[in-house]
Chain A
Amino acid sequence: MDNIMAVDILLVDDNPDDVLLTKEVLREGKVKNKLYVAEDGDEAMQFLLNQGKFTNAPRPDIMLLDLNLPGKDGREVLSDIKKDWNLKSIPVVILSSSNDEEDVIKMYENHANAYIIKPVDLDKFINVIRTFEDFWLTQVKLPNGDGM
C-alpha cells in the first residue's frame, strides 16, 4: 500500500451529511486518498489558487464538485476552472442532486469530466464512488504524472 501515493481529492460540498458519507465510502475504498473539503465555491477557488488559509494546499488530483452551493455555485466554479490555464487540466466530477437534463448538458459543455447524480440508495452511491475510483484513480493516467 505504501508504494501507492495518496491521491489528493478536493470535495466541494456544503452539505455535511454528504461530505461525511463521501468520506466514509472513500475510506472503505481501495484507493489511498486524502480528502480536502471546501464548503462553498469561493473557498474552492481559494483552495485551488492557494489563497487565504489555503496557502499550503496541494493541487488536487481530482475534484468532486456539487452544483448547488451557497454564494458562487458549482456551475461558476467549473467555468472558472476551465478558463484558468493552470487549473483546466484538473479533472472535475460533478456530483449533484439535480437530474435536470439541462444541467447535465451544460456541465458537459463546460468540460466537466463526469456527471454523477447523488442517489438516495447507499448501494448505488457506493457503486458510483467505486466506479469513480476505478475509472479516475486507477485506470486514467492523471495529468500530474509524478505519482505513477
Chain B
Amino acid sequence: MTNKELSRELNLLRRKIAKFEELKYKGDLIEEESKLKTQLLDAANDPIFLQDFDGNFVYINESAYKTLGYTKDELMKVNLHDLDISESADLIKTRINDLIKKGESTFETAHYRKDGSVMPVEIRARIIESQDRKLVLSNVRDITERKRIENSLQENKSQLEAIFSSMVEVIDTLQTKGKLLSELSTIEKPGYKFSEKLSPITVLNQEGQPTGTKSSFLDNTEEKKMERKLEKSEALFRTLTDVSTVGIFMIELDGKYSFINERGCEIIGLDAEEILDLGTGRTIHPDDSEKVIEEWNKALKHMEHFKCEYRYHHLNGSDIWVIAVAKPNIDTSGRFVNYVGTLVDINEHQKAEEKVIKTLDELNRSNKELEHFAYVVSHDLQEPLRSVSNFLQLLSRRYNDKIDPKSAEYIDITVNGANRMQTMINDLLTYSRITTRGKKFTYTNCQAVLDDILRDLNATIEENDAIVTNGPLPTVFADNSQMKHLFQNLIVNGIKFHGGKQPKIHISVVEKNKEWLFLFQDNGIGIDSKYAESIFDVFKRLHTRKEYSGTGIGLSICRKIVHRHGGKIWIKSNLGECSKFYFTIPKRRNG
C-alpha cells in the first residue's frame, strides 16, 4: 500500500467517520426530537389520544391515563368504545364519519374513569396521517368545573323562579282574602344596583367557590364568563332576599334549613344561625306544630308544594300569624334540589279576619236573639192587650145604662187603640217570621205566583177598577210563599196609592248576568225622593191614618223578603206621577 493509497484510504475512512458522525448526530437529533415531543405531549395538561378508526389507542399522553386513573399500559388496552359513556359510544361511528368529511370537529361527551365515575369532557379531534394510515388525534378537556357552574347557575335561576312563583302565590292568597300587601310590589322592581363585591350567599357556597386555578395554558375564559354570570345572578338573588319584606327560606330534603333571609329570621323570631342549625322548633306555636308537620309530610310525600297558615310564638311571648308557601326546586334534569319558599307575616290580616268573624258571629247571634225576642214579645203582648180591650167592652155591654156618652167614647178610643196595637203586633210577627219561618227555596214560576195573587185580589181589583198587566216572567229559585207575599204587597201598594186615577200596574222582568231585575210600575201618587230609603223602614208611614190605612209594615216586609233571597230593592218615583219599585232576585249559583 503506497502512502498515497494509504492516505486515500485514510481520507475515505475519515469521510466515512465524518459521515457516520454526521449520521449519528442526525439520529441523536431525531431521537432527541421524538423524546422532546413525547415530553411535550406528556406535559400537556389536557389528555391527548391518538387512536385508529376502530377506537384502538395508538398513543396516549400522561395526562390521558392519569386523569382517567389508569396506568399507561392499562389504558392502552382499553377501547374508546368502552371509555365513552354508553350514550356517547353509540355515536362514535357517526362522529368519525363527520370527522372524515370535515377533517376536524369539536364535541362534548363524557368518559368513564377507572373507578366508574363519569368525567364530562370536550373533545377536539382531527385526522392525521402517519405511516400511510389515518389516525384520529383527540385533544380532551375536562369540563367538570364548567358543567358544575352551568348547573349551579341553572339552580340559582330556578331558585329565583321558585321564590317568585311562591311569592305570587302568597300575593294571590292575600288578594283573595281581600288584602293587598302593597309592600310586596317593591319585590318585582328590584334596584338593579348590586355590587360585585357582594359575596355569594351561603347556600350556593356549599360546594365551594368556583375558582380559576388551572394550569396557565388552560383557556378558562368561558368559565370566567360563567363565574361572573353566576356571581351576578347570586348578587341579584341576595339583593332580592335582602330587600324582601317577606321571609325567604330553603329547606333541604332532610328537613334542614339551608337558607333564611333576614326578614325570615324576624318573622320566625330566631337568628339565622339557630335556624340553620336547629330549625324553627323553638318558636313554632305548640298548637300549630302538628298541623305544620302534617302539611310538610304531605308535601314531601309527593314532592308537591307546601302551603300552611300557622303561628310563631316568639320568645318575648307575642304570637305572629304567617302564611308559608314553598315549592320543590327541580333542576333541568328533573332532579329534586330542595324546597324554596316564602314566609309572610299575616298577623294584622289574621287579626282583622278574626275580628270580622267574631263580629259576624255576634251579629248572627244578636239577630237570632232579636227575632226570637220579637216573636215572644209579640205573642205575649197579645194577652194583656186582649184583657184590656175585652173587659172594657164587657164593661160597656153589662153596664151600658150606667155609662155616660163621654165615658163610652173613651172606652171606644181605648178599644180602637188596642185593636190597632194588635194589628201592629201581628205585623211584627209576620215580619219576624220572614227569617224564622222561611221555607226552603224551590223553583218558583213567577207567572203562576202572579196568577194566584190576581185570583186572591180579584175583589180589590174590581172594586178599584185596577188594571194589572205583565211581561214575560221567569222561574226563579225562591221561597214560593214569600214571593207571593212580595208580589201581593207591591200590587196592593200600587192599587192603594192610586190618588184618584184608575190604578194601572205593569210588571216586567229583565234578565241580567247573575240576577233577575223585577220592575213593578204604577201610575199612583209616587213619593218624594227624600223618602226613597226610609219608606222601607218598619212602621214608616208617609201619610196619616185618615188618608191611608195600614201600619206601614208592607214595604219593610218586601225588603226583608228580598234581602233573604240575596237581592236588593229600591224605588224610583216621580211625585204625583208614578212609582217604580225595582228588586233583584239572584240566579241560583250552582246551576
Contact = CB atoms under 8 A, between A and B. Distances in A.
A18 B390 CA distance: 9
A100 B433 contact: yes
Contacts of B379: 68, 97-98
Interface in B366-388: 379, 382-387
A74 to B, nearest CB: 13
B389 interface: yes
B437 interface: yes
B437 A21 contact: no
A21 B433 contact: no
Contacts of B383: 15, 17-18, 97
A47 B244 CA distance: 83
Interface of A: 15, 17-18, 21, 24, 68, 97-100, 102, 118-123, 125
10 contacts: A17-B383, A17-B384, A17-B387, A24-B394, A100-B433, A100-B437, A118-B386, A121-B389, A122-B394, A125-B390
B389 to A, nearest CB: 5
Interface of B: 379, 382-387, 389-391, 393-394, 397, 415, 418-419, 422, 426, 429, 433, 437
A97 B382 contact: yes
A11 B422 CA distance: 24
Contacts of A99: 426, 429
Contact of A121 (B382, B419, B429): B419
Q: Most chain-B Cβ atoms within 10 A of its Cβ — which of A102, A121, A123, A125?
A: A121
B387 to A, nearest CB: 4
A121 to B, nearest CB: 6
Contacts of A68: 379
Given A21-B394, A68-B379, A99-B426, A120 B389 contact: yes
A21 B392 CA distance: 11
A102 to B, nearest CB: 7
B382 A122 contact: no
Contacts of A98: 379
A136 to B, nearest CB: 22
A120 B419 contact: yes
Nearest to A98: B379
A24 B397 CA distance: 12
B394 A121 contact: no
Given A15-B383, A97-B379, A120 B418 contact: yes
Contact of B391 (A17, A102, A118, A123): A17
A122 B397 contact: yes
A99 B433 CA distance: 12
A128 to B, nearest CB: 12
